Structure 1
Amino acid sequence: MPTYPESLLLCPVCRDPLTVNSAGQHGKKMDDGAARFLRCPRGHRFDAARQGYFNLLTGRGTEFESDTAAMVQARVDFLGGGHFQPLANAVSSAAESFAGNLPLVLDVGAGTGYYLKALQERVSVSASVALDISKYALRRSAKELPDALCLVCDVWRPLPVADQRVDLLLNIFAPRNVPEFARVCSDRAVALVVTPLPHHLREIAELAGLLGIRPGKATEVATSMAEFFDVIEVRRVEFGMRLSPIDVRNVAAMGPAGHHTLRIDVDSLPPTSDVTAAFTVQVFQKRAHTS
């Protein structure tokens, strides 16, 4: 396990610093060095799940519907086919260009860890933290990212990260709590925000019952970030995919449509479908003294 900066994490109950511990039963240090529990000075303790993530949801839980096990499996299967590799490459390239040396990375809405893993294969980081509301997704993240701290939390609550500690923030197809992003990011930190373009998956959108993507979504994102962050680059990433019927089902099931009954009849689909993938990658930099 990497050495994490002191006071990087905050207790979701009292907001005191959380210490990362790698001790096992009776305080004996585990041979693999994995984080075993988080504890604050007031005694609030969060033990690692068997799969390696920590659940920091407290109190009444969350109002938001997290990705189910089936949705996560669909994402693992689809992304495992390499269909979104060009997007992963674009995110990693942007991080390489703008993030600086050995950034501390926070992935808000990390999902299965696919993009964070791709980034770490290209960019040397000092430490990384993956946040998601779905424990099913973070089970995968913890497996794919053994050196990361994987934390179940609600992005609309105060994030469990101390002020001005993050150098590079990822936000890929995930909600944006911009005031909290500004609080946890250091001055001049970089935030990479990825959103789909309106014609993303257009060839199968109606067939799969996918939610429509509003025109101008990238502009809406920039406007929402403008109080604390400046846009320094916008990259448009567009490529074609040749998908099997199972791929079509998975790409539909891994997104918000997966919360509902999909109307795709896999047997009625052609052997392959040519489908467009289209995204905006926006690179933001936090203005100094705006937390």
Structure 2
Amino acid sequence: MCRQRLDADGRRLVCPAGHSADAARQGYVTLTAGARPHPGDTAAMVAARERFLAAGHYEPVARALALLAAELVPAAAFAVDVGGGTGYHLAHVLDALPGATGVCVDTSAPALRRAARAHPRAAALGADAWRALPVADGCADLVTTVFAPRGEAEVARVLRPGGAWVVLTPLPAHLEQVRAALGMVAVEERKRERLAADLAGFDPAAERELSLVRPLDRAALRDLVLMGPSAHHIDAAGLEQRLADLPEVVDVTVAVRLTAVTRPG
């Protein structure tokens, strides 16, 4: 799309140049032209994430994100959740900001179907987070990135001066009890250094760390593996054998860092 203003025309969004995008029957709109090199999470991955999140395992993480957002931006903010999946975290943020609206940007159609109904003040936009974001320059008070790709140039473009960007990343202890046992993708060793490089053009605002232990049974552990990138690297039979080798319930550490910065004004 050309990044001009989009106005609703029935079930279409239309810009002054005549470009248009139709809303899918499930309520989301795709604003990326051409083939997407990253189709995003599959329907099975999204279903696993829905089950895992519905059980409340990451509820404290979403709550911490929402509380930090509420400290940084006005209650009537416009929020953009980049790589926001099913809209779970954006919904928590909007609950903490009573007058806010937001958009969940993701490339996965199965995720967008759920994000479209995640919150009454949220919309779902289909776009590749590795490319240009389908929102106007300087329109966002808040951008959130939760376990998702970071495109710092695009975030700087869409944030208003003084707007906040909150990035949520795993700490080394995150899922440490089961990561190797279940063949999950490891936490990058130099993740903090790479994050600092990505955020170098922004002003520091806040940093929080959250660590807790969740008792996860085998069903929850299965969903934990299948809802993320590890699902692409392990076969079903192998996963079942790995799960059988674990106790019925495992106490698993959830450990994340929330890093907030603002766009220089």
**TM bucket, shorter chain:** over 0.9
Cα contact 1:182–1:286 (8 A) shared by 2: yes
- Residue 100 of structure 2 corresponds to residue 126 of structure 1: yes
C-alpha separation in 2, matches of 1:46 and 1:275: 43
**Alignment identity in percent?**
38
**SS of residue paired to 1:121:** helix
The CA deviation string for residues 112-144 of structure 1, in whole angstroms up to 9 with x for no partner, is: 111111122222243211100111111111122
- Residue 83 of structure 2 corresponds to residue 102 of structure 1: no
Q: Show the counterpart of 2:8.
A: 20
| TM-score (normalizing by structure 2) | 0.94
C-alpha separation in 2, matches of 1:85 and 1:275: 15
Provide the aligned length of Structure 1 versus Structure 2. Answer: 261
Structure 1 ranges of 4+ moved more than 3 A: 266-269
Q: Show the counterpart of 1:287.
A: 264
Counterpart AA for 2:186: G
Pairwise CA distance, 1:267: 4.2
Q: Show the counterpart of 2:224.
A: 251
**SS of residue paired to 1:208:** coil
- Residue 209 of structure 2 corresponds to residue 236 of structure 1: yes
C-alpha separation in 2, matches of 1:103 and 1:56: 22
C-alpha separation in 1, matches of 2:95 and 2:132: 30
C-alpha separation in 1, matches of 2:99 and 2:261: 19
Gaps of 5+ in 1: 1-11, 24-35
Could you tell me which of 190, 198, 206 is aligned with 2:164?
190
Cα contact 2:82–2:105 (8 A) shared by 1: yes
- Residue 155 of structure 2 corresponds to residue 178 of structure 1: no
Counterpart AA for 2:136: A
Q: Which moved more, 1:276-285 or 1:121-130?
A: 121-130
**SS of residue paired to 1:17:** coil
| TM-score (normalizing by structure 1) | 0.86
- Residue 43 of structure 2 corresponds to residue 66 of structure 1: no
Cα contact 2:183–2:234 (8 A) shared by 1: no
C-alpha separation in 2, matches of 1:77 and 1:215: 29
Cα contact 2:74–2:97 (8 A) shared by 1: no
Q: Show the counterpart of 1:199.
A: 173
How well do the aligned residues superpose, as a CA RMSD in angstroms?
1.5
C-alpha separation in 2, matches of 1:218 and 1:19: 40
- Residue 197 of structure 2 corresponds to residue 223 of structure 1: yes
**SS of residue paired to 1:270:** coil
Q: Show the counterpart of 1:143.
A: 117
The CA deviation string for residues 76-110 of structure 1, in whole angstroms up to 9 with x for no partner, is: 00011001111011101101111123111111111
Cα contact 1:103–1:124 (8 A) shared by 2: no
Pairwise CA distance, 1:55: 1.3
Q: Relative to 1, partners in 2 of residues 1:223 and 1:125: Cα closer, same or farther, differing over 3 Å?
A: farther
Counterpart AA for 1:89: R
Counterpart AA for 1:136: P
Cα contact 1:57–1:153 (8 A) shared by 2: yes
- Residue 13 of structure 2 corresponds to residue 38 of structure 1: yes
